[in-house]
Amino acid sequence: MSEDAPVLQGINLTRSFGDGDARHFALSDVTLDLFRGQLVLLMGPSGSGKSTLLAVLSGLLRSDSGRVVASPSGESVDIWQLNNSEREAFRLKHCGFIFQGYNLFPALSARQQLEIVLRWGEGVPSREARERADDMLGLLGLAKKSQLLPSSLSGGEKQRVAIGRALIKTPQFVFADEPTSALDWAHGEQVIELLRSAAHERGSTILVVSHDHRILPFVDAVFHLEDGRLDESDGVQGKAPATAHAED
């Protein structure tokens, strides 16, 4: 499942917001390693910096200092040394995102939500995009709902479509922000199972930010973040070789 070398490293990451007395550190010298095939949970109270860390690691928000080194295909790259279009291309090739809201286009069917990523992102021909979207919806148990609009889908089904949209490109990294927060546990469990199988079967590295303790039994590693610092006594579970430390 996982390999020895980390595929994504956050090294001495610091990020603050505001100026002067109002300056607030969302991240303080955070270092962590993530490995291939891991489902990793990032926990912490509100305002602890979880979403900021996810944004920095995923190339959406630049840190004040520190580095984010990704090695999706062996070769390492500091994603914040890339220019904007190179970073956009990196995200296109290697990153999938699942957000708290489903953020599905209300006018498009489940299939079209997935197709659009392939067609607009990679220029995949329409027939191939359709086949790949149908395959993914089949894996997610939504084969019969491919033509339905979001308004005709349940919350759990919408989130599965959002997961499909994140996984359709077969990305190396998937970043999920509170993917189960809007769901009852029956649907939340389905979602986390899907993410776990994506990590274990596809070899993706999946970082989930969540408050939901019910997820804990399903993940390979857990990081706790509080006041912008990682807890050194991480509740690492199972055999995953996740490492983390805050260098104070």
Partner 1 sequence: MSYTLATLWFDRQRYIPGVLAVAFSALLIALQCGLLLGLFSVTSIPIDRAKANIWVGPPKVLSVDVAQKMSEGKARSWLEGQPEVDIRSVEPYICKFANWTKPNGGVELCIIIGSRMNEDSLGTVPELTPELRMKLTEQDTIVVDESELERLDLKKVGDTAEILEHKVRLVGTVKGMKSIAGPYIFCSMPTARRVLRYSSDETIYVLARCHDAKDAIPVVHRLADEQRQKDEHLALSVFTKEEFSLRSRVHWLTKTKAGIALGYAALLGLMVGAVVTIQTLYGATMASMREYATLLALGIPRWRLGVTVVTQAFWIGVLGIILSWPVVFLLAEAAGLLGVKPQLPIWLLGGAAVVTLIMAIGAGSFALRAIKRIEPVNLLR
Residues near partner 1, by CB under 8 A: 51-52, 54-55, 58, 60-61, 85, 88-93, 95-97, 99-101, 103-108, 112, 116-117, 120-121, 149, 165-166, 169, 177
> Between residues 47 and 138, which has the closer beta carbon with respect to partner 1?
47
- The least distance separating partner 1 from the CB of residue 144, rounded to whole angstroms, comes to 20
- The least distance separating partner 1 from the CB of residue 86, rounded to whole angstroms, comes to 11
- The least distance separating partner 1 from the CB of residue 169, rounded to whole angstroms, comes to 7
Pairing of β 65-73 and β 8-17 = antiparallel
Query: Alpha-carbon dihedral of residues 160, 234, 69, 11, nearest 10 degrees?
Result: 140
> Between residues 124 and 240, which has the closer beta carbon with respect to partner 1?
124
> Between residues 13 and 240, which has the closer beta carbon with respect to partner 1?
13
> Between residues 140 and 240, which has the closer beta carbon with respect to partner 1?
140
Pairing of β 8-17 and β 173-177 = unpaired
> Between residues 61 and 236, which has the closer beta carbon with respect to partner 1?
61
Cβ atoms 169, 142 nearer than 8 A = no
> Between residues 32 and 240, which has the closer beta carbon with respect to partner 1?
32
Sheet harboring 205-209: ordered strands across? 95-98, 173-177, 205-209, 39-43, 221-226, 229-230
- The least distance separating partner 1 from the CB of residue 115, rounded to whole angstroms, comes to 8
CA distance 186 to 179: 13
Query: Alpha-carbon dihedral of residues 132, 117, 183, 26, nearest 10 degrees?
Result: 140
- The least distance separating partner 1 from the CB of residue 33, rounded to whole angstroms, comes to 21
- The least distance separating partner 1 from the CB of residue 99, rounded to whole angstroms, comes to 5
